[in-house]
């Protein structure tokens, strides 16, 4: 229970007269809180409060970890879609390159035939 300022002052004066050691009186009065916020805390109370806070932090972290895992799953899905799209594009490019190569071979053979004809009849 906190002491009022008046009570604290009166005890200080009385004990200072009796003990004649201000530091000892101040130390003794330090065990009596001056306000509600200065009320001494028991180890059990502190442990209980810490466990409650730890539980709250764990719950929040579990929620955040769940959110991150869901986002990772979404990103993996997007990567798989991009991979599929990339494979399709690579397949199309290969097909186009094969067609271009065939045209080049055909053109080269035609030019070689034309050159032979010119050389023979020319």
Per residue in 37-69, pLDDT (tens digit) is 556 678 999 999 999 999 999 999 999 999 999
- Mean pLDDT, rounded, for 66-76: 97
State the virtual CA torsion across 20, 22, 28, 31 in degrees, nearest 10.
160
Tokens (6 digits) for 108: 């080269």
Q: Which helix (H) or strand (E) holds 45?
A: helix 43-121
pLDDT-based confidence at residue 119 (cuts at 50, 70, 90): very high
Q: Which helix (H) or strand (E) holds 34?
A: none
What's the predicted TM-score (pTM) here? 0.49
User: Are the C-beta atoms of 5 and 29 separated by less than 8 Å?
Assistant: no
Domain positions in the chain are 1-39
């Amino acid at each position: 229970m906190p002491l009022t300022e008046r009570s604290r002052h009166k005890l200080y004066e009385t004990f200072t007269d009796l003990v004649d050691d201000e530091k000892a009186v101040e130390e003794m009065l330090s065990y009596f809180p001056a306000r509600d916020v200065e009320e001494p805390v028991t180890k059990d109370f502190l442990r209980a409060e810490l466990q409650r806070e730890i539980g709250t932090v764990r719950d929040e972290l579990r929620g955040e970890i769940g959110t991150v895992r869901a986002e990772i799953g979404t990103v993996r899905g997007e990567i798989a879609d991009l991979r599929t799209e990339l494979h399709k594009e690579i397949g199309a490019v290969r097909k186009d390159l094969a067609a271009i190569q065939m045209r080049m071979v055909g053109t080269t053979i035609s030019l070689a035939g034309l050159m032979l004809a010119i050389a023979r009849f020319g």
